[in-house]
């Protein structure tokens, strides 16, 4: 019991420091892991086994392809074409948000904001309008669609590869519609919210300079990777690291092509999100200590106790608790910690883990849309606005993020319940 208290204490201290941004994340995580090893809460072997190397391989491969995709100019080209084809500024911005959602289904959310935000800034600048609602719309749209596919965002990837799900399971699983359908239905509801907010911008669209595509090759590579991942879903008894190998193979092909054609592969590698890559390793080890010391079992037992074997109540608690907590804390460590909890609760209820895992992902991914600190994409969007001397108030973000989140989560929550639990 004393060891459990020590492990939980170190976990909570590290979590709070990360949430409050007190100290460098690597220092916070490194110190917590060293203390765990010194006090023998876990050993080196357990720490290494806690890391999900499949997740890291897929994450690294898709990061590289995302960088090449941005370099190609295709996303910016599509955004400018959408703007030019829209009749009013409000519809143009809604179209850009839809594009951001589509891109984030396959590209990391932060990268999506970096791709699409300059278009919104350009439109706002020419109209002498405040770009704050536009950037918020792009950020929340990218967060929503990030959980529509296995590779759309880190929590989706972590959940899939920690639960034996493949690329196609997000679309159709065990003869039922997967989480993608829930996300898209939620998108319809939430984009209606954006429509109500943007429809007041009735000015005619101002012509913006069209971005020229440098090359279509990264787009072809990314499309081939999707097809290969989909095809691999039908292969039975494939090696555990198959998905990671697929993503890394296409990434290497992309880097070799980039080096031969542009001599800039090192710059692509240098600009990757290495912070999140190593952050994931630390989080896996930290959460692994909770598993090895039986704390995950205790959390699951508590949820089972308060829900009294009621599967609807258990499902509801997991979804809306995830929404609430993810509004203020990083969704990566929360997802890693809660996946085994959701599985244990499902087992105790005598149901498959899929509905609770889907509910967890919906709540975790969309809850971050409520506040400017709830998701990395939000932080980046607010930072870009700050550089342009636009300061986002907490209330400014909540005015858009809260109704957007409630609409999306409510529809997805009902859909998953009706399809998977009723």
The confidence score (pLDDT) of residue 62 equals 79
Cβ count within 10 A of residue 379: 17
> Which is nearest to 194 in space by CA: 156, 239, 137, 251?
137
Sorting pLDDT into bands at 50, 70 and 90, what band is 315?
very high
Structural domain spans, the chain:
1-41, 42-421
* pLDDT greater than 70 at residue 265: no
Mean pLDDT, range 409-420, rounded to an integer: 94
Q: What is the pLDDT of residues 58-77, one digit of tens each?
A: 778 878 887 888 788 887 78
Residue 155, C-beta contacts closer than 8 angstroms, at least 6 positions apart? 146, 147, 331, 332, 335, 361, 364, 365
Determine the pLDDT at residue 217.
92
Residue among 171, 180, 176, 166 at smallest CA distance from 234: 166
pLDDT score for 416: 94
Per the structure block, which two tokens stand in for 403?
A: 């109704």
Other beta carbons within 10 Å of 342? 27
Asked if residue 333 lies in contact with residue 387, where contact means CB atoms within 8 angstroms, the answer is: no
What DSSP string runs through 264-275? -HHHHHHTS-HH
Please answer whether residues 97 and 141 qualify as being in contact, where contact means their C-beta atoms are separated by less than 8 angstroms.
yes
Helix (H, G, I), strand (E, B) or coil at 87: coil
| pLDDT tier for residue 21 given thresholds of 50, 70 and 90 | low
Percentage above 90 pLDDT, the chain: 15
Q: Which residues contact 357 (CB under 8 A, 6 or more apart)?
A: 159, 163, 339, 342, 343, 346
CB-CB contact of 104 with 294 (8 Å): no
Predicted confidence (pLDDT) per residue in 356-383, tens digit: 999 999 998 888 888 887 777 887 788 7
User: Which pLDDT band holds residue 91 (cuts at 50, 70, 90)?
Assistant: confident
Locate tokens 């201290």: which residue?
A: 13
130 in helix, strand or coil?
coil
In this prediction, residue 415 has a pLDDT band, given cuts at 50, 70 and 90, of very high
Alpha carbon distance 65, 257 (integer Å): 12
Could you report the per-residue pLDDT of 38-62, keeping only the tens digit for each? 888 888 888 888 887 877 887 788 7
Closest C-alpha to 167, from 125, 99, 106:
106
Residues 6+ positions from 310 with CB-CB distance below 8 Å = none
Question: Is the pLDDT confidence value at 15 over 80?
Answer: no
Q: What is the pTM of this model?
A: 0.75
Minimal CA–CA distance to 289: which of 89, 18, 43, 100?
43
266-275 burial, b at 16+ Cβ within 10 Å, e below that, comes to: eebbeeebee
């Amino acid at each position: 019991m004393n060891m459990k208290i020590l492990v939980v204490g170190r976990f909570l201290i590290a979590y709070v420091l990360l949430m409050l941004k007190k100290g460098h994340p690597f220092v916070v995580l490194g110190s917590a892991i060293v203390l765990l090893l010194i006090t023998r809460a876990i050993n080196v072997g357990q720490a290494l086994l806690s890391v999900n190397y499949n997740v890291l391989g897929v994450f690294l491969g898709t990061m590289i392809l995302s960088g090449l995709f941005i370099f190609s100019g295709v996303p910016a080209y599509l955004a400018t074409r959408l703007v030019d084809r829209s009749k009013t500024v409000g519809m143009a911005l809604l179209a850009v948000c839809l594009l951001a959602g589509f891109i984030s289904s396959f590209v990391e959310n932060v990268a999506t904001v970096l791709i699409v935000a300059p278009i919104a800034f350009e439109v706002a600048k020419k109209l002498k309008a405040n770009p704050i609602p536009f950037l918020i719309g792009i950020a929340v749209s990218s967060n929503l669609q990030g959980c529509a596919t296995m590779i759309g965002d880190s929590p989706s990837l972590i959940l899939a590869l920690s639960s034996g799900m493949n690329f196609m399971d997000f679309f159709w699983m065990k003869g039922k519609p997967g989480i993608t359908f829930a996300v898209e239905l939620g998108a319809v509801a939430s984009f209606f919210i954006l429509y109500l907010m943007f429809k007041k911008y009735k000015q005619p669209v101002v012509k913006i300079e069209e971005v020229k595509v440098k090359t279509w090759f990264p787009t072809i590579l990314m499309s081939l990777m999707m097809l290969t991942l989909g095809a691999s879903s039908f292969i039975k008894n494939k090696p555990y690291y198959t998905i990671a190998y697929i993503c890394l193979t296409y990434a290497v092909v992309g880097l070799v092509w980039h080096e031969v054609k542009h001599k800039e592969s090192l710059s692509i590698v240098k600009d990757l999100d290495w912070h999140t890559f190593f952050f994931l390793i630390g989080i896996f080890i930290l959460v692994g200590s909770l598993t090895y010391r039986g704390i995950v079992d205790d959390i699951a037992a508590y949820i089972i106790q308060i829900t009294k074997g009621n599967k609807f109540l258990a499902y509801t608690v997991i979804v809306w608790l995830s929404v609430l907590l993810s509004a203020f804390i990083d969704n990566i460590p929360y997802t890693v910690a809660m996946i085994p909890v959701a599985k244990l609760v499902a087992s105790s209820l005598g149901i498959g883990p899929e509905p609770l895992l889907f509910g967890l992902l919906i709540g975790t991914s969309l809850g971050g849309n409520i506040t400017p600190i709830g998701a990395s994409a939000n932080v980046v969007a607010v930072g870009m606005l700050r550089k342009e001397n636009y300061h986002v108030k907490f209330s400014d973000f909540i005015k858009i993020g809260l109704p957007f989140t409630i609409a999306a989560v409510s529809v997805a929550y009902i859909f998953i319940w009706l399809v998977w639990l009723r």
